């Protein structure tokens, strides 16, 4: 068994056809078929079912796939720690983050590992958990609910952030000389991140008051919280989101947190990795993000 066979196997699982897998691996289709057959012979079991022109992994193939992905991932991370070897580190990030977070993290990682190509993949915790378990990403920094991390993954808590309501710096609600009421909040559209986790609270819960009727609220849909920042800064839209996500914009006076007596809703920001994969580059990444959150105030500007 060699590394090429594992790459061919993973490509065939993920593309579903020998033709597509051969193109992905820059090999002839007969060459790929021969490589898969040798792998099956060495393992002593077939790994695929043929379905018309496509191929899908059988039960043994499904069992073998995560092992193959982890072997390839470990090899890539091992190469990343060799000073003269080009490799890449794939980092998943959630959208609950300050606007300068990726820039700060990238600068420190490139100074320490100048030969590593850093790739970022944005999604929420539900998708990133799956990507980590499959080996599609090497680590993730993302907001997670308490006790939600699967047993195969290790999560290091970095900070906790609380939801608040935000508007642009000159929002009309900031000029009211009385307490903001539910009817005032319903007069403006609310931002809705369509790619956020299912349990994201779109509207705040006012303490001691009746719930804001969702059916009466107007929403503007965006597919990223960072796309929503542009909307928030340049319109009278309102947003119920974690304070961390708006920290830079608040510090620069572009966004303001509304003074509302709302129910507390906290989110844990964690750095996550697979328990079975050891890597000096991931260790260093964890130390970088840990320092970032220890000194978060210094990074806001």
DSSP codes joined into one string, 198-254 = TT--SS--BTTSPPP-GGG--EEEES-HHHHHHHHHTSS-BEEEEGGGGHHHHHTTS
Could you identify the residue written with the tokens 């490799």? 87
Q: Would you say residue 67 has pLDDT above 50? A: yes
pLDDT number for residue 301: 46
Which of 75-84, 130-139, 215-224 is least confident?
75-84
Q: Would you say residue 15 has pLDDT above 50? A: yes
* CB hemisphere CA count around 115 (13 angstroms): 13
pTM (whole model) above 0.85: no
Listed residue (171, 242, 165, 227) closest to 195, CA to CA? 227
CB–CB of 264/162 below 8 Å?
yes
CA atoms of 233 and 253, how far apart (whole Å) = 10
Instruction: Give the pLDDT mean for 237-253.
Output: 92
SS3 41: helix
Instruction: Give the pLDDT mean for 69-87.
Output: 74
pLDDT band at 296 (very low <50, low <70, confident <90, very high): low
CA distances from 194 to 93, 199, 267 (A): 17, 12, 18
Average pLDDT, rounded, for the chain: 88
Could you identify the residue written with the tokens 């080009």? 86
pLDDT band at 207 (very low <50, low <70, confident <90, very high): confident
């Amino acid at each position: 068994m060699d590394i090429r066979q594992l790459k061919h196997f993973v490509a065939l699982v993920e593309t579903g056809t020998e033709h597509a897998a051969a193109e992905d691996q820059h090999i002839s289709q007969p060459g790929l078929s021969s490589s898969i057959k040798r792998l099956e012979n060495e393992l002593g079991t077939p790994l695929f079912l043929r379905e018309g022109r496509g191929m899908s992994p059988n039960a043994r193939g499904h069992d073998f796939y995560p092992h193959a992905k982890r072997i390839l991932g470990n090899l890539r991370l091992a190469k990343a720690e060799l000073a003269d070897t080009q490799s890449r580190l794939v980092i998943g990030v959630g959208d609950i983050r300050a606007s300068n977070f990726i820039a700060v993290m990238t600068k420190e990682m490139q100074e320490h590992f100048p030969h590593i190509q850093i790739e970022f993949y944005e999604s929420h915790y539900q998708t990133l958990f799956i990507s980590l378990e499959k080996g599609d990403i090497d680590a993730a920094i993302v907001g997670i609910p308490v006790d939600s991390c699967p047993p195969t993954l290790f999560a290091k808590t970095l900070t906790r952030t609380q939801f608040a309501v935000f508007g642009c710096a000159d929002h009309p609600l900031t000029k009211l000389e009385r307490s903001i009421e539910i009817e005032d909040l319903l007069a403006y559209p609310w931002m809705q991140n369509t790619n956020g986790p299912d349990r994201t609270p779109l509207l705040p819960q006012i303490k001691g008051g009746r719930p804001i009727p969702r059916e009466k609220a107007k929403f503007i849909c965006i597919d990223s919280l960072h796309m929503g920042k542009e909307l928030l800064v340049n319109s009278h839209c309102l947003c119920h989101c974690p304070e961390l996500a708006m920290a830079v914009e608040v510090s620069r006076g572009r966004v303001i947190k509304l003074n509302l007596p709302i129910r507390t809703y906290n989110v844990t920001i964690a750095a996550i990795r697979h328990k079975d994969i050891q890597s000096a580059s991931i260790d260093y990444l964890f130390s970088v993000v840990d320092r970032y959150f220890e000194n978060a105030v210094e990074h806001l500007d």
